[in-house]
Each structure stands twice: as C-alpha cells, then as structure tokens.
Amino acid sequence: MKWFWLSGVVLILDQCSKLIADALLQFNQPVPLLPFLDLHKVYNPGAAFSFLSNASGWQRWFFVGLTLVVSLVLAVWLRRLQAGQARLALALSLILGGALGNLIDRVMYGYVIDFIDLYYGGWHWPVFNVADSAITVGAGLLILDAMRGQKKET
C-alpha cells in the first residue's frame, strides 16, 4: 500500500499541469521554450500517438472502460507485491498514476489534454503530457524488471 502515494503524486502533477496548460495556452498555437521543446496544447480523443483519434466517438468509452480495468489490475498487483520488489512497485505506481490522470480527462472532457512537444528539426514526437511520461517511464521500468527477473532465472 505504501506505493500508492506515488500514483497520487503523478495524478496531481498531471492534472495541475493540464489545467495550467489549458488555461494559459491557445489551442494548436506552439509556444517555443527551447530549440527542441515547445508547449503546444492539443486535444487527443484517441489513445497513445492519437490511435483511434478520428473514430466517431465510441473510443472515448472504450478507453474509459479499458483504463478502469487496467487500473484495477495494476492496483491489485501493486497491493500484492512483496517488500523487496521496489522497482516493480515504482513501475506499477507510475503507470497507475498516469492512467488515472488520462482517465479523468477522458471522463470530464472526452479527450486528453496534451501540451509537451519535443522535436528535432522537422521531426516531432507526438505531443504528450505528464501522465504519458509517467506511463512511459513505468513501462520501461516494468520491462527492465521483467528482463532482470529472467536473467536471474538463467
């Protein structure tokens, strides 16, 4: 249970940053910060990398339901971890916090607020948010934990 605080921190940082971005940024008007970073408010009704963003609206409730199921599984998994599984707990907490952050957007607005635009020259990574960052870092840690676990077995 002690790792749920991290999910809460991710959720709060995500929601606060999205509220600030939504209030201060103009839609689809990039604000340059660094030679490789803009603040660029967009609304994403789809999933990662705008997957299904052009669907007719059914995807909102599909992703809400999917996120609820995944979040429940993550919470149960996190609760059942042993004391020595800190990396796995960190990974699951980050993913859970990010998933819940994007879930709130989907339920409240029907889309996710994204505003971080990384790029190099003319190449742009898809615009993302704090929740997406937490999910990505958590997924990387989850993969690392799984690879380390397999390494110990051989």
Q: Give the active site residues.
A: 114, 132
Contact criterion met (CB below 8 Å) for 118 and 60 = no
Bridge partners for 136 per DSSP: none
Q: How far apart are CA 6 and CA 1, in angstroms?
A: 10
Helices (H), the chain: 4-24, 58-79, 86-109, 130-153
Q: How far apart are CA 96 and CA 67, in angstroms?
A: 9
Nearest to 125 by CA among 54, 28, 50: 50
Q: How far apart are CA 93 and CA 4, in angstroms?
A: 6
- Characterize the bridge pairing of strands 37-44 and 112-120: antiparallel
